[in-house]
Structures are given as structure tokens and as C-alpha cells.
Amino acid sequence: MEKIYARTKGLRPDVVSGFCPGCMHSTVIKLIGEVLEEMNQMDNAVAVLGIGCCGLHMEYMSYDNVTAPHGRACAVATGIKRANSKSLVYTYQGDGDFASIGLGESVSAANRGENITVIFINNGIYGMTGGQMAPTTLLGMKASTAPKGRIAEEHGYPMHMCEILNQLTAPYYLERTSCNTPQNVLKTRKAIKKAFQNQLDGKGFSMVEIVTSCPTNWGLDTMKSLDYLNEKMLTEYPLGVIRDNG
């Protein structure tokens, strides 16, 4: 009997992830591990982790990683990539890290067309920090800093990072995917692989934005958070390739 689906070597064999039940952070890190294993890049990869839930990967992943100061993952990745251009360098950031605190670094790295890959997890809320409102929080969505829900007049509108970066000339590949169904998980895997391949081919800045759920901070159980993701998040953040210069 042949094993047709095995736990990737990108995850340490006996470690249980620190994420909440149903959290798709762990789905994404599993996919990254699978892709690196498939591309035979495990020894060559450097992950630059953002602050927040992303940091829980440190104990969980089996290859090199460094945690950047809050929001500065793209800047740290720039340094690593320029110092050692053969490494496969990717940043793994949530919406608070990439789109709020690190907005300057993120947009600047994209604008320079740095040859790095960004894996951007958009769940519309700060996770570990305490469920505060993020730039990507939907209108009407409750957060600990917006107990009545996000109101446009007070808090502005949700930010669409793929579309914002699409205004720049330099980025090479921008795609938005999700992990809400097995089909979309496989599409996400394909997008991550493509983004890594772009970097190995020296094409420049690639980003995969992955729309996920946060059952704990949304205050929903795993099944209801999946429904919320399907009905609300994916309406605001439609999936698809935003830019592919290849």
C-alpha cells in the first residue's frame, strides 16, 4: 500500500502547531513546506516571519527562519536576498504586519521590484495581538477596537493590497487565493509554487495574498467562520490573478 498523501518534511515531525482549531495559517505553512519539498529547496529557503500569529511557525517549520521587527519583514528579506542572492527568501506576514504597520516597507519593496516572494495572510483582523481592527477589516465587522463594527466614516474602508500594489510598475506576479475548499487549497499551492519559481528565475517581486478565516477573533466556530469567509470575505476580496507578467 502506497502512501499518497504524507505530512511534509517542511514541518517538524512531532510538533503540533500552536494555532487555534480551524486556523488556516497552518494550512498555508503546510503548503509552503510541500512546495519547498517538491522544488527541492528546503535547504535553500529562508523564511522571514512577521510578528503576530506568524511567529508561531518558528517552532513548527523545519527549515531556516528569522523573525523581523513588526512590519519590517520585506526590508529584512531584501537584506537577506541582496546578501545571498541564491537563497529562496520569502516573507510570511499577516494583514496587521504587511498592510498596516509595515505598509511603507511592503509598498517600497514591491516598488523596487525586489526579487523576493511575499505570502500575505488576509483574515481581516489582528490575531495574536488581540483581535484589533486591521486595514483589511470589512465594513460592519466587529473588532476589539471597533466594538460596533467598522464604520467607513470613522475608520475608512477595507484595503485591497493586491490592487494597491497593482498600481506599481515593478511587481511581477500578484494573485489572491483562499483556503476555503480543497480546490482552493490546491490553487493556493500552485500559486505559491509559481511565486517561488519566479524568484528562482530572477523575475522580481511576487505576492500571493491568501484570504483566510480567524475563528477565534471573529468569535465564530470553525464552520460558521468558513461560511463568513465564503459569504463576506470573498465578496470583498475576489479571488484571481491580479497581475502575471509571465
User: Residues 88, 161, 226, 239: which binds other proteins (CB under 8 A)?
Assistant: 226
C-alpha distances in Å from residue 12, one per residue of 8, 114, 119, 198: 9, 30, 20, 27
Residue 52 interacting with other proteins (CB under 8 A): no
What does the alpha-carbon distance between residue 72 and residue 95 come to, in Å, rounded to a whole number? 13
Name the segment binding other proteins (CB under 8 A); options: 126-134, 136-144, 178-186, 231-239: 178-186
What does the alpha-carbon distance between residue 77 and residue 49 come to, in Å, rounded to a whole number? 9
From the CB of 220, what's the least distance to other proteins, in Å? 12
Helix (H) / strand (E) element for 188: namely: helix 182-200
User: Residues 58, 151, 152, 186: which binds other proteins (CB under 8 A)?
Assistant: 186
C-alpha R_g of the chain: 17
Count interface residues toward other proteins (CB under 8 A): 29
Cα dihedral sign, 180-17-78-161: positive
The nearer residue to other proteins, 78 or 216, going by C-beta atoms, is 216
Residue 52 in grid coordinates? 503576530
Residue 202 interacting with other proteins (CB under 8 A): no
Q: In 3D, which of 89, 151, 140, 154 has the Cα closest to residue 117?
A: 89
Phi, psi of 116 (to 5 degrees): -130, 170
From the CB of 21, what's the least distance to other proteins, in Å? 4
From the CB of 107, what's the least distance to other proteins, in Å? 30
| Window 112-131: residues binding other proteins (CB under 8 A) | none
From the CB of 190, what's the least distance to other proteins, in Å? 12
Helix (H) / strand (E) element for 32: namely: helix 25-38
From the CB of 14, what's the least distance to other proteins, in Å? 9
Residue 5 interacting with other proteins (CB under 8 A): yes
What does the alpha-carbon distance between residue 43 and residue 104 come to, in Å, rounded to a whole number? 30
Name the segment binding other proteins (CB under 8 A); options: 3-11, 72-80, 106-114, 149-157: 3-11
The nearer residue to other proteins, 120 or 172, going by C-beta atoms, is 120
Q: How many residues does the chain have?
A: 246
The nearer residue to other proteins, 115 or 188, going by C-beta atoms, is 188
Bridge-based pairing of strands 117-122 and 206-211 is parallel
- In three-state secondary structure terms, 64 is coil
The nearer residue to other proteins, 23 or 51, going by C-beta atoms, is 23
Name the segment binding other proteins (CB under 8 A); options: 66-74, 104-112, 165-173, 174-182: 174-182
Instruction: Note the residues at the interface with other proteins (CB under 8 A).
Output: 1-8, 11, 16-17, 19-27, 30, 179, 181-182, 185-186, 222-223, 226
